[in-house]
Structure formats: structure tokens, C-alpha cells
Structure 1
Amino acid sequence: MAADGIWSADLASLTPGSWRMFASFTPDNGAQKGKDFVLSRTVTVPGRATKAPLPAAAGSTEVDGYTVTVKGELMAGMAHPLTVSVAKDGKPVTDLQLYLDTYAHLTAFHEGDAAFAHLHPTTKVDGDHGGPDLSFHAELSTAGNWRLFLQFQTGGKLHTAALTLRVG
């Protein structure tokens, strides 16, 4: 945040098309202290846009040499447990570091509309000893495909794993 109160973030180059940007935050002081906010807006990148299909639903994905596995049977509009496990070279990872006060951030976007959810694990925080399993209390509002992005940190490096989850 700059001195004038304007927030900015560097982004990788975006391909042409329409993008929906989200900012999720909780003030730590003032009249709105502790209240969760989400701001969003559509950004258009000029050029010829091509529509890409959402990848097929899968229970696991690879990122930066890590395998991220998601387990749970979610039903739309109902809270259900969701477990995310992190492994590297077939071995459970137990050195997840805190990233923004928790071991992971899971953001889910519904295919075809602007519905989204931002979830934090309910797993107890114990220094830089997180993993391999992270428990989430997940409630996704609509049936269909959701694109999940899990951010977690190891060795001071932030990793973002993406996969598609089918919600009944």
C-alpha cells in the first residue's frame, strides 16, 4: 500500500481477454477491524481472446516438484470437510511455513460465473512444521466445476497448485 492508500501488485503478463480480479482482506484496525471484505472488478486485456476449456476434474496435481492431493465429497451449499495433502518425491511434507498467518490459502472459482470462496485450513499452526495434511471446512455455493488454487510456502518460496474439483 502506498502512502496515498492505493494498493498495487505486480502481475505476470495476462493473455488477451476478460479477467476478473479479486482482492480479499481484513482490516486490523479502525471501525471495520476484523470484518472480511472482497473487492473485485473486470479487467480487459486487448487483443484476440481465445476461450480455453477448464481442465478436467482431478484429485491431485503437481507444482514445483510437489504433489498436492485433495480429498472430500463436497455438496453445493453444504459445509463438508476437505483435506489437502502435500508430498514431495513421494514423501509427506512436514515443513510448510506460515504464509499470511496460516499454512495455506485455498481459493475456489466456480466455472461460468463470479462465485468464489477463500478458505483457510483449520489445522493448528505450529511454527514452520505444517503438513502434510491440511483440513478445511469447505462450503461451496453452487454445483459444478470449481477451479481451486492452493498457495503454500516451503523454504521461503511460495507455490501455487491448481486443480479442478467437481461439486455435486
Structure 2
Amino acid sequence: MDKLEKVEKIIEKTGVSYEDAKNALDQCNDDILDAICLLEKEGKIKNSYTASYTSFPGGNETDEKFAKAQADYEKSVKEEKFSDILSSFFKWTKKMVDKSFKICLLVKRRGAELAKIPLFFFLVLIILGFWFFVPVLIIGLFFECRYSFVGLNSEKVDINDVCDKMADGVDDFKKNINK
């Protein structure tokens, strides 16, 4: 810090003139604190910059308010912003859509592959044309169609067993009706 900055700092803290601040700084070998003390002894400081602290019964109330404010601040910092939540939701949605194109519904009849529909389109068909598409799937079971999902990790969900059991159940039902 050069001499001019020190003089300005003394003026800022004490409110004395530039000349008084420079003289006090020269007399105190460029020590700001000593210069301020000298100006105070000489009575040249215009504004009294004093602070007082008092203690009274119930003084801990301020400490409690401060502690509560600190805890609230820390909590708000830890909370996720809405934009972060929305961003993670869109990342999850993208991941699920990507997976839905890797998994396909395989339709077979007497061992021959009839169709292979990505899970995404299968779900769209179920949602948009439920009253048409579901009966078509059920009728397909009566015409010896077998449904299975390929590209699925069988350790997590073994839905193919469920599809096979449904097809076997329909086959048994058909045999019972024919008898």
C-alpha cells in the first residue's frame, strides 16, 4: 500500500483533512494505526466512531435467531433447485426412451417370426389403441401366436415366462373347448 492509499484510508476512517492525515502519517513513520491514535489524542477526529456492546437478560435470543438463520441457510443450500430436478427428470426420461428402443416385442407363430416391434411403439399402440390392440393380441393367442420380449435382461424381469404361461393357458383352453 503506497502513502496516498494510507492517507486516504486514514481520511476514510477518521474524517480528518488530507493535510492532517498526511502529517500524522509522516510523524508515525507510515503506520496507519499510530497515525489514527495520534489524531485522536490531538482531538482532530471529527466523528466519533465508537461501538458499544451490552448484555441483558434474555440476550441469548439473538444467538438463537442467528443459529436458526444459519441452519435455514445451510438447508436452503442443500436443497436442489427446480432446474436441477427437471434436468435429472429429462435425463432419466431420455435413458428410458433409449432402453425402450433396445427392447422389442417378438411375435412368433409356429416358430416363424411374424413381427418385431420396439417396446416404445408397443406402448404407444397400447395407450392410443387399447380397445383395438389388446383384443388383437388376445385373438392372436388363439391363432397360436407367441409373444416374447427380446433385448431384456432376464435376471431383472422375466416377463417372457409370463407371456409363455398365458399362451399355454390359451392353448389348454382351446383343447378343452375342442373336446
Q: TM-score, normalised by structure 2?
A: 0.18
Higher relative contact order (CA 8 A, sep 6+): 1
Q: Which has the higher strand share?
A: 1
Q: Which has the higher helix share?
A: 2
Structure with higher Rg: it is: 2
Q: TM-score, normalised by structure 1?
A: 0.19
